[in-house]
Chain A
């Protein structure tokens, strides 16, 4: 079983092929629709981002509230394609990895290849199960967005499938 750690760099990702299963350990940041809009606008305006994008991984996830006695609640992936319009700009600014569910646009596939990023998918609709692999959670920014805030997660052996590799090869084909 292939294991990788954050931060990502090309040495770790260039050998990963679409379809391959990997287990990720380290730091990932949640961000979905509204957080993407804000990150994208901040980049446009040259404002400092709430976390360093360089070699980072964004997880398209808005967890439930945290039940008493748990590290995190249910925390599965949301549909990635809604983030497509913001993704090329984030990749250009140093983002390396994304975790979500479903296919990406042609532009995103192109940007992944150009900036040598990587797109993973994880078990969709399995948020309870995925909570087992999250070891700590810290709110980082945009608290007013509730579940759409940016959370810093420490994960251990988080199960992923490479959906678009650094060469632009995709698990869903070219449709």
Chain B
């Protein structure tokens, strides 16, 4: 059986911290440039230019793209034929801590949600998945909370119409309004259970923005962009850069729908070991 030492995972996560926070995703950059080109509104164009300049400056100066370096969310896909020597979760958290410290990112995690408590770099959120093979794939999504705060979940009836679901998704974006750094990327999870729909909505943010989208995704994106919220909420053609949906079979009695909104600084990085 193939074996990997936990320390190797720590090192890999530490580097993901740097890549995700300093280098904006290529597909996100591509979508932002496209939005910049097609924008006629002077102010919206200026803001999109600032967003692109910010990404370039962050990369050049090794600065965080956004000061909200997020609650780090790590997706780990572990091959079932891989043996990990040492604690996987401890290794991931060590990598997060080491990376956030080394690259002077923000300590945004409070130890207790109610008393708030001491502020630190960890623990992060870890989603584990066991897959065939003998490799491990690690994806880091540092999720800023301005946009995370705009997340929504609704348990629809199995007889609910598609229009009701569409309206719910559009209203979630309307509710985010100017607050959560538009232009947004919208992740949607449909089906499964309340918890799994929420995870799918977040996972949908990892899908490349440039993939071929379904008709439903395209329709929703068109309707969202018609709202005209625009960059910084000051109007413009682009309210969302993309909308990605993940679905899963569900129960005969229900239809969960979750929406996870990302700001324009949608940051993630992945590595396969």
A136 lies within 8 A of chain B by Cβ: no
A124 lies within 8 A of chain B by Cβ: yes
Interface size class of B (residues with CB under 8 A): 35 or more
Cβ of B51: which chain A residues have Cβ within 8 Å of it? 123, 125-126
Contact B180 A65 (CB under 8 A): no
Cα separation A146 to B54 with both chains bound (whole Å): 24
B148 CB to closest chain A CB (Å) equals 11
Cβ of A65: which chain B residues have Cβ within 8 Å of it? 104-107
- Given A103-B177, A129-B54, the answer on whether A64 and B47 have CB atoms closer than 8 Å is no
Interface size class of A (residues with CB under 8 A): 35 or more
B108 lies within 8 A of chain A by Cβ: yes
Cβ of A34: which chain B residues have Cβ within 8 Å of it? 116
B87-123 contacts to A (CB < 8 Å):
103-108, 116, 119
Contact B116 A76 (CB under 8 A): no
Contact A123 B50 (CB under 8 A): yes
Cβ of A129: which chain B residues have Cβ within 8 Å of it? 50, 53-54, 57-58
Contact A161 B234 (CB under 8 A): yes
Cβ of B20: which chain A residues have Cβ within 8 Å of it? none
Cβ of B233: which chain A residues have Cβ within 8 Å of it? 102-103, 172
Contact A74 B119 (CB under 8 A): no
Contact A125 B61 (CB under 8 A): no
Cβ of B265: which chain A residues have Cβ within 8 Å of it? 125
Interface of A is mostly: loop
Cα separation A75 to B69 with both chains bound (whole Å): 11
B245 lies within 8 A of chain A by Cβ: no
Cβ of B55: which chain A residues have Cβ within 8 Å of it? 128
Cα separation A79 to B51 with both chains bound (whole Å): 17
B179 lies within 8 A of chain A by Cβ: yes
Cα separation A128 to B22 with both chains bound (whole Å): 9
Contact A62 B178 (CB under 8 A): no
Contact A124 B181 (CB under 8 A): yes
- Given A125-B51, A127-B65, the answer on whether A64 and B104 have CB atoms closer than 8 Å is yes
A109-150 contacts to B (CB < 8 Å):
121, 123-129, 131-132, 145-148
B264 lies within 8 A of chain A by Cβ: yes
Contact A102 B180 (CB under 8 A): yes
Cα separation A74 to B263 with both chains bound (whole Å): 16
Contact A128 B54 (CB under 8 A): yes
Contact B50 A79 (CB under 8 A): no
B63 lies within 8 A of chain A by Cβ: yes
Cβ of B66: which chain A residues have Cβ within 8 Å of it? 74, 76, 125-128
- A73, A81, A145: which contacts B179 (Cβ < 8 A)? A81
- Given A65-B104, A101-B179, A147-B106, the answer on whether A127 and B67 have CB atoms closer than 8 Å is yes
Cβ of B119: which chain A residues have Cβ within 8 Å of it? 145-148
Cβ of B57: which chain A residues have Cβ within 8 Å of it? 128-129, 132
Contact A128 B61 (CB under 8 A): yes
A74-93 contacts to B (CB < 8 Å):
74-76, 78-81
Contact with A along B49-77 (1 / 0, CB 8 A): 01101110110011111111100000000
B61 CB to closest chain A CB (Å) equals 7
Cβ of A63: which chain B residues have Cβ within 8 Å of it? 67, 106
Cβ of A171: which chain B residues have Cβ within 8 Å of it? 234
Contact B232 A61 (CB under 8 A): no
Contact with A along B12-56 (1 / 0, CB 8 A): 000000000000000000000000000000000001001101110
**Nearest B residue (CB) for A148:** B119
B146 lies within 8 A of chain A by Cβ: yes
A70 lies within 8 A of chain B by Cβ: yes
Contact B179 A102 (CB under 8 A): yes
A46 lies within 8 A of chain B by Cβ: no
A68 lies within 8 A of chain B by Cβ: yes
- For the complex with contacts A34-B116, A125-B263, A128-B66, 12 further pairs of A-B residues with Cβ separation under 8 Å are A67-B63, A67-B103, A70-B61, A74-B67, A74-B106, A79-B146, A102-B178, A124-B263, A128-B55, A128-B63, A129-B58, A161-B232
Instruction: Report, nearest first, the 6 A-B pairs whose CB atoms are least far apart.
Output: A102-B179, A128-B58, A74-B64, A126-B54, A127-B67, A146-B119
Can you list 27 pairs linking A and B with CB atoms under 8 Å apart?
A64-B63, A65-B104, A65-B106, A70-B61, A74-B66, A74-B67, A76-B67, A78-B68, A102-B177, A103-B178, A103-B233, A123-B47, A123-B51, A124-B181, A125-B54, A125-B65, A125-B66, A125-B265, A126-B51, A127-B63, A127-B67, A128-B54, A129-B53, A129-B58, A147-B106, A172-B234, A175-B177
